[in-house]
Amino acid sequence: MGSNYDDISFSEYTLGQEQLDGIEAILHEDLVESGVNSVLLIDMAGNIIANRDNGQCDHDVYSLAALASANFAAVDTMAKLVGEQEFSLLFHKGENENIHFSKINPEFLLISIFGKNVTLGLLRLKVTEAIEKINRLLEK
Amino acid sequence: MAFVNMKTKEVQAKIVFYGPGRGGKTSNLEYIYSKFRERIKSEMVSIKTHGDRTLFFDFLPFDIGKIMGYDVKVQLYTVPGQVKYDATRKLVLKGVDGIVFVADSQVEQRKKNVLSLKNLQENLSTYKKSIFKVPLVLQYNKRDLKDVPLLPIEVMDKDLNSQLKVPSFPASAVTGHNVVPTLKKIISATMASLQNVLK
């Protein structure tokens, strides 16, 4: 990095093609194939790292990512204000669509959008599995 | 903390409009949105109070085309300017790549500009970023106002830019004067700071 920019910048976010391919495969096989409509892997600044859906979604993913990262950060700050490390379940339920947030590591978030065909329990199980796989891949 | 996707050859960079309350940050984004409407595919997102004040942020994704072979998307954000919203203001700054500081040219807002710039410096330091290193452009807004006393440009430069020495623009977010040049300047400064990584 040039001297005109702070040290903590984005080299740690510049994932290689192999890692991105791996992440996309995990999102697809573990989540989309389990019935999740759309899944986004974003960073805490609101950038989209990877995005997979069932081909029937037409969401504005850039706005979703910006709002999701801000929402997560706000809830996380609230948790600390009441003396919690974090709130472990972050979930918004709608009539047809639901959104589930899950922290992958201090920098990345997984956002899953799912409908009535997937139960929250199954989703949480699948998300936990996917996160373990993603973390193993990021450690490489 | 821009994200570079080597696979899709896409760069996402975050540019934040900062400054005192009622200074014209949201108006800047609204002007950009109206001016480039056909190029901006999504709606502008605003989280505001019933009184039309920014509560959390405004968000506008802006596709600026190819730079060095990369498809560049800048994400424009504003912060809430009111002093009491410092916690949310700090959250919006996370991962910022470039900043436009929108100062209010009215004489009676002089102190608020200085305090807000100081607040920006403090909030950046919580992310271990220096106001002297982050790409930054100043905008002296509301130059179109006729019925209220305005600060001379030299005074605003002395108040806000004597140490920073960054590009500055007298502007009017309402009429659109110098809004696009401000945006172009911060985009080029931000891209220049990312350049080494894109090679």
Does B4 reach chain A within 8 Å, measured CB to CB? yes
Show the CA angle centred on residue B19, arms to residues B117 and A106, nearest 5°.
85
pLDDT score for A117? 94
Contact A43 B3 (CB under 8 A): yes
Q: Which residues of B touch A16 (CB under 8 A)?
A: 6
Whether residue B187 contacts residue B156, with contact meaning beta carbons closer than 8 Å, is answered with no
Q: What's the pLDDT score for residue B199?
A: 67
Q: Do A66 and B59 touch (CB under 8 A)?
A: yes
* pLDDT for A34: 96
Tokens of A93: 């339920």
What distance in Å separates the CA atoms of residue B10 and residue B4, rounded to the nearest whole number? 6
Q: Which of B7, B77, B133 is facing A17, going by the closest CB pair?
A: B7
What's the CA gap between B121 and A40, in Å, rounded? Answer: 32
Predicted TM-score of the model (pTM): 0.88
Q: Which chain B residues have a beta carbon less than 8 Å from that of A67? A: 45, 59
**Which of B14, B166, B161, B6 has the alpha carbon at shortest distance from B91?**
B14
Region for residue A96 given its phi and psi (left: phi exceeds 0; alpha: psi -120 to 50; beta: otherwise): alpha
In the numeric block, the tokens 């108006």 are attached to B27
Mean pLDDT, chain B, rounded, equals 94
d(CA A127, CA A56): 21
- Inter-residue contact B135 to B189 (CB < 8 Å): yes
* For A3, nearest residue in chain B (alpha carbons): B133
- Picking from B35, B58, B37, B40, the residue whose alpha carbon sits closest to that of residue B48 is B58
Q: CA B131 to CA B138: how far, in whole Å?
A: 12
Q: How far is B190 from chain A (nearest CA, A)?
A: 10
pLDDT of the residue at A2: 36
Residue carrying structure tokens 């006729």: B146
Domains of chain B, CATH where assigned = 3-198 (3.40.50.300)
- Closest residue by Cα to residue B1 from A20, A51, A108, A72: A108
Q: Determine, for residues B3 and A6 on separate chains, whether the beta-carbon distance falls below 8 Å.
A: no
Contact A55, B104 (CB under 8 A): no
User: Both ends of chain A: CA-CA distance in Å?
Assistant: 23
Q: How many angstroms separate the CA atoms of B189 and A53, rounded?
A: 35
> Are A1 and B197 inside 8 Å of each other by CB?
yes
Nearest Cβ partner for A73 among B12, B41, B91: B91
Residue A62: list chain B partners with CB under 8 A: 42, 61, 73, 75
Residue-by-residue pLDDT tens, chain B, 199 positions: 788 888 888 999 999 999 999 999 999 999 999 999 988 888 899 988 888 899 889 999 999 899 888 899 999 999 999 999 999 999 999 999 999 999 999 999 999 999 999 999 999 999 999 999 999 999 999 999 999 999 999 999 999 999 999 999 999 999 999 999 999 999 999 999 888 767 6
Judged by CB atoms closer than 8 Å, whether chains meet at A14 and B87 is answered as no
Given an 8 Å threshold on Cβ–Cβ distance, is B88 in contact with A74?
yes
Per-residue pLDDT of chain A (140 residues; tens, 9 = 90+): 333 334 434 444 668 888 999 999 999 999 999 999 999 999 998 999 999 999 999 899 999 999 999 999 999 999 999 999 999 889 999 999 999 999 999 889 999 999 999 999 999 999 999 999 999 998 87
Question: Hey, what are A106's tokens?
Answer: 């201090």
Alpha-carbon distances, residue A138 vs A41, A105, A133, B11 (angstroms): 13, 10, 9, 20
B196 in contact with A, Cβ within 8 Å: yes
Q: Measured between alpha carbons, how far is B180 from B171 in angstroms, rounded to an integer?
A: 10
Residue type for A38, please? S
Q: What is the pLDDT of residue A139?
A: 86
pLDDT at A8: 37
pLDDT for the residue numbered A15: 80
Closest C-alpha to B28, from B157, B138, B150, B193: B138
pLDDT tens for residues B26-58? 999 999 999 999 888 888 999 888 888 998 899
pLDDT value at residue A72: 93
Q: In whole angstroms, what is the distance from residue B96 CA to residue A123 CA?
A: 32
Q: Report how far residue B154's alpha carbon sits from residue B126's, in angstroms, rounded to the nearest whole number.
A: 31
